[in-house]
Amino acid sequence: MNRIFSGMQPTRQLHLGNYLGALRNWVELQNSYECIFCVVDLHALTIDQDAEVLRNNIREVTAAYIAAGIDPEKNILFNQSFVPAHSELAWILSCHTPLGWLNRMTQFKEKAGKQKDMANLGLYSYPVLMAADILLYKATHVPVGEDQKQHLELARDIAGAFNRRYDTEFFPLPEPQILGEATRVMSLRDGTKKMSKSDESEYSRINMTDDADTIATKVRKAKTDPEPLPDNLADLEKRPEADNLVTIYAALSGQTREQTVQQFAGAQFSGFKAALVDLSVAKLAPMTTRMKELLDDKAEIDRLLRRGGERAAAIAETNLNGVKDIIGLLRP
């Protein structure tokens, strides 16, 4: 069976975009692949973290995975820092990665901005750690959003360079998977900006911890335009806020965007939003309730992470030892 590896950072709260763009698809993938799902807490250290907040966020992301439908017994679910081999392989791979490859990474340029000289090394070398995360488990497929596709391509380049350098086929070249109608959910306040954990406005996103009343309020307050909904996708795509809400409805209902457009063609936004409120609450509120139940028992979440970490470490140690043997490192 092919192997999936994917993960999310425990930075701030997960939101509707994380669910529709990733989590919902992971739930489906676990039926067809051997899956390893990680809370990538080492990646979160590229920005300043409060220790207690980080611990809580790691548990909250874990709870979100499970509430969305990830089975921690069927799959491996753990936090990245539990397995030291991630960091060790990242160092080895960094010694096989030309600076020119990292200099092409657009996400570092966007996040560092004009303060590039003050950015930390972790932010710059983040893609190498991501490559190590994937290659450590010899993952064959990685579900990614468009913003991470370049980093996955780098992981493929690093794997290929390692294989050529040592005349081996040790690492598979992982394939990207970009799935579903809503791979990119936009802000509820600005249809031209991606829904983000870091947006100052709480009304820009639906958090996975929002209760039914909060979900309903945020949908009703979502930015729209005065025109009725169009009857074709070409016109819809010229209206970013309308396009975003239709995309969300389509994803939550399991329809295509075209089917949703046909269903609501000519409707006023008041009627469409009422339908979207009902659908959003029906789909998301049960997950919110389940997350709260899980977070009430932190010891159980920690136990699940520890058990998943032990399972992950067994695979990681075998593969890291294989790398060490190939490159000539002695080990006990």
Q: Are 223 and 203 in contact (CB under 8 A)?
A: no
Residue 232 annotated in ligand binding: no
* Residue 292 known to bind ligand: no
Q: How far apart are CA 113 and CA 22, in angstroms?
A: 27
CB–CB of 86/46 below 8 Å? Answer: no
The answer to the question of whether 198 is labelled as a binding residue is: yes
Q: Answer yes or no: is 87 a known binding residue.
A: no
Catalytic site residue 138? Answer: no
Please give the radius of gyration of the chain, using alpha carbons only, rounded to the nearest integer: 21
Select which of 194, 223, 298, 324 is catalytic.
194
Residue with tokens 């016109």: 235
Q: Is 244 annotated as a binding residue?
A: no
Residue 74 known to be catalytic: no
Q: How far is CA 252 from the centre of its chain?
A: 18
Which of 198, 170, 216 has the alpha carbon at shortest distance from 321? 170
Q: Is 195 part of any known ligand binding site?
A: yes
Which amino acid does the sequence have at 103? N
194 is in an annotated binding site: yes
Q: Which of 74, 149, 193, 197 is catalytic?
A: 197
Exactly one of 111, 223, 298, 324 is catalytic; which is it? 111
Q: 273 an active-site residue?
A: no
197 is in an annotated binding site: yes
DSSP string, 130-189: HHHHHHTTT-SEEE--GGGHHHHHHHHHHHHHHHHHTT---S--PEEE--SS-SSPBPSS
Please indicate if the annotation marks 185 as binding a ligand. yes
Give the active site residues: 111, 194, 197
Enumerate the known binding-site residues for ATP.
9-11, 17-18, 145-147, 185, 194-198
Enumerate the known binding-site residues for L-tryptophan.
133
Enumerate the known binding-site residues.
9-11, 17-18, 133, 145-147, 185, 194-198
